[in-house]
Amino acid sequence: MNEAQLEIEERLERMKELLNAENMPDFRDEFLALHSYEQGQVYLGLTKEERQKTYHYLSPNELGDMFEVIEEDEESVEEYLREMNPNYAADMLGAMYADNAVDILKQLNKHQVKVYLDLMPEENASEIKELLHYEDETAGSIMTTEFVSIVANQTVRSAMAILKSKAPEAETIYYIYVVDSEEVLVGVISLRDLIINEDDQLIADLMSEHPVAVKVTDDQNDVAKTIRDYDFLAVPVVDEVDHLLGIITVDDIIDVIDDEATSDYSGLAGVDVEETTENPFIAASKRLPWLITLLFLGMSTASLISRYEVMVSDASILAVFISLITGTAGNAGTQSLAVAVRKLATQDDSNTNFGKMIFSEIMTGLVTGLVTGITIFVVVGIWKHNFILGFVIGMAMLCAITVANLAGSLIPILMDRLGFDPAVASGPFITTLSDLTSVLIYFNIAALFMSYFVGQ
């Protein structure tokens, strides 16, 4: 446990002491003095009874500031909201930035969402309802409508006055967006530019025209690439006719990147890596579907091996190297899969030459297969005093690795083209598929040289 974690543990114990002593003034003073992240960590460490006290000690606005940074699984969020008085929970959600409130509400069922929206002030509820209508994983679903906009024909002085009045509700004020009378985005100006220029200068003379923006229907991954490429702290979101609808801030994009990375890793591992339950039966139920599917796919490999039972009985030495060839090919296929998924996630479609990517993986498979094949050829030839056997193992290794590399790169590309998440082509699936092809390659090559090692 590092120093920061130790400090949070100490603060948690201190907060528990104050809650158990029902010392509301000191609890409020010390809790509200913490950073919102630290508040969240303390809150997550409290028991249900202790959390009930915090609802009496803290206002909905104060708890909302902390809930902005809590990242918990769906079951826990529902549990926390159920603990609260419905009016208190609705006030808390209404006090949060709209995009963060939407993130929480999307984890609830429609009835629960309606209850909280009906209890909110109309202004907050209508803003949240608008965001709830956008499809998941689009720019519209992660944008916030709390931003500052000005017009081009006003001065820096008047712009600063507007900024000061709207800043308390805005999620960020580093960028101020310039719109025309129709709310069409026409420019952007930074807070720095407002500060360093004279009060009487016109915004039109200072703003950057043709600002980079994303469409409300754009995929969140494309938004993340835009923010990454331009090093933005926020990016405006517009509709098809460039009306400014909202902004997406870098902290939301960090969450997107983290979610996508987790999703990719879960796909590659064939399991939900964010599984938090300690119940072994629930954990097993989440892992079993992939394992059972792979079990039946693995049975096809066993059935294939059984077809060569006579060959193995005539030359039992062949059985020694089955796991070596299948394991190495599976590892190669998983490596190729990881590289392909990463390239698909980071490269723009316009800049990606899929034919070149596949050719590169084939050549990589040939090179790695050749080196590995030559190595095992020498090792087996010396070890078993049979260089013909070594040649068979080496050739099988070369072909199996090349095919596994091709499968590892081709399958995610095909899935991406068909509109599926390429990470779903998980590592266990590629490994099992490589086992099947490796066995087929190995025994077909061995069959050509059976006379050299019958009886071994």
Q: Kindly report, residue by residue over 306-353, the tens digit of the pLDDT.
A: 888 888 888 888 888 998 999 899 888 888 877 877 777 666 554 556
Sequence-ordered list of residues with C-beta below 8 angstroms from that of 246, at least 6 positions apart, any chain: 99, 140, 143, 144, 145, 147, 216, 236, 237
CA 405, 407, 408, 409 torsion-angle sign = positive
**Residue 388: φ, ψ to 5°:** -70, -45
Q: For the segment 203-246, what is each residue's pLDDT rounded down to a tens digit?
A: 999 999 999 999 999 999 899 989 989 999 999 999 999 999 99
Q: Which H/E stretch holds residue 341?
A: helix 322-346
Residue of 88, 85, 87, 100 lying closest to 63 (CA atoms): 88
- Every domain range in the chain assigned CATH 1.10.357.20: 280-452
Highest mean predicted confidence (pLDDT) among 34-48, 191-205, 323-337: 191-205
Helix (H, G, I), strand (E, B) or coil at 236: strand
Q: Are 178 and 151 in contact (CB under 8 A)?
A: yes
pLDDT at 205: 94
Tokens matching residue 397: 């290794």
- Every domain range in the chain assigned CATH 3.10.580.10: 149-250
Arithmetic mean of pLDDT, 11-32: 93
The whole-angstrom separation of Cα 119 and Cα 86 is 8
**Secondary-structure class of domain 280-452 per CATH:** mainly alpha
The whole-angstrom separation of Cα 248 and Cα 124 is 19
Sequence-ordered list of residues with C-beta below 8 angstroms from that of 13, at least 6 positions apart, any chain: none
Tokens matching residue 419: 């509109």
pLDDT at 423 over 90: no
Sequence-ordered list of residues with C-beta below 8 angstroms from that of 202, at least 6 positions apart, any chain: 152, 153, 154, 155, 156
Task: Read off the amino acid at residue 347.
Answer: Q
The whole-angstrom separation of Cα 246 and Cα 315 is 71
Torsion of the alpha carbons at 175, 178, 179 and 185, rounded to the nearest 10: -60
pLDDT at 425 over 60: no
Q: Report the predicted TM-score, pTM, of the whole model to 2 decimal places.
A: 0.66
The whole-angstrom separation of Cα 252 and Cα 224 is 9
The whole-angstrom separation of Cα 45 and Cα 56 is 18
The whole-angstrom separation of Cα 427 and Cα 423 is 9
pLDDT at 99: 87
In the β-sheet with 244-249, what is the strand arrangement from edge to edge?
Answer: 214-215, 234-238, 244-249
> Percent of the chain having pLDDT more than 70?
88
CA 86, 91, 94, 97 torsion-angle sign = negative
Domain 3-137 has CATH 1.25.60.10: yes
pLDDT at 235: 96
Sequence-ordered list of residues with C-beta below 8 angstroms from that of 219, at least 6 positions apart, any chain: 137, 138, 139
Judged by phi (left if over 0) then psi (alpha if -120 to 50, else beta), residue 270 lies in left
Q: What is the architecture of the domain spanning 149-250?
A: Roll (3.10)
The whole-angstrom separation of Cα 68 and Cα 52 is 19
CA 201, 203, 208: angle at the middle one, nearest 5? 125
- Every domain range in the chain assigned CATH 1.25.60.10: 3-137
